[in-house]
Every structure is written in structure tokens, then in C-alpha cells.
Amino acid sequence: MTVKLTVVYGTPDDAEAFDKHYTEVHMPIVGRWPGVERTEVAKVQGGPGGSPSPYHLITEIYFADTGALDAALGSDAGREAGKDFMSIAPSGSFMTVSELSD
């Protein structure tokens, strides 16, 4: 069953520097993960009706199954991305794993 890793980033102090690092460094590392079927990156614009949001960016990375996700995270590139996440993730950032319904 398809699973996705969702990474939600809190609002960084310097959004421009964060976006540059994320685009030029972090995502190319994720691009080396084995087994990725699809990746979606969305910049948060706010909540419903334009209310402010505590989040800056949401990334969803899709895999065929939990085994493929585990293999990606356990790969050299997966460990490298994990270290980079820890160095760039603003306060309030988090990750979740979800199983998609058919």
C-alpha cells in the first residue's frame, strides 16, 4: 500500500535563506533517495480565509510501501537528509508517515 512521508516546516527566521538551502541543497539530497515515486513541495500561503499559519513549507514524498520508505530513510542519502533536516528545520517542524487509502 502506498505510503507518504509528510514533512512540515515551521516558519524560519530568514525565509529567503531557508528556501535557497532547501531548493539547492536539501531537495537534491532527497532526489538521491531510492524508491521515491513522487514528491510534492508546497509553500504555505496561510489558513482558510487568509488566517496566518505557523508553517512555511510542506513536502510530501510518496513510496510504494513502508519497506521502500524505510529503505530510503536508511540509505546514505536518507541519513544525509536527516542530518540536514536537523540543521535547517525551524521550530515547530515535524514529520508524519501516512498510509493512503485506495
Q: Which residue ranges make up each domain of the chain?
A: 3-99
**What is the Rg, in whole angstroms, of the alpha carbon atoms belonging to the chain?**
14
Q: pLDDT digits over 59-100, tens only?
A: 999 999 999 999 999 999 999 999 999 999 999 999 999 999
For residue 102, is pLDDT > 90? no
9: nearest Cα among 75, 60, 83: 60
Position 67 scores a pLDDT of: 97
Q: According to the CATH classification, is domain 3-99 in 3.30.70.260? A: no
pLDDT, tens digit (0-9, with 9 covering 90-100), for 2-60:
999 999 999 999 999 999 999 999 999 999 999 999 999 999 999 888 899 999 999 99
Burial of 1 (0-12, 13-18, 19+ CB in 10 A): exposed
Q: What is the pLDDT of residue 47?
A: 85
CB 77 within 8 A of CB 85: no
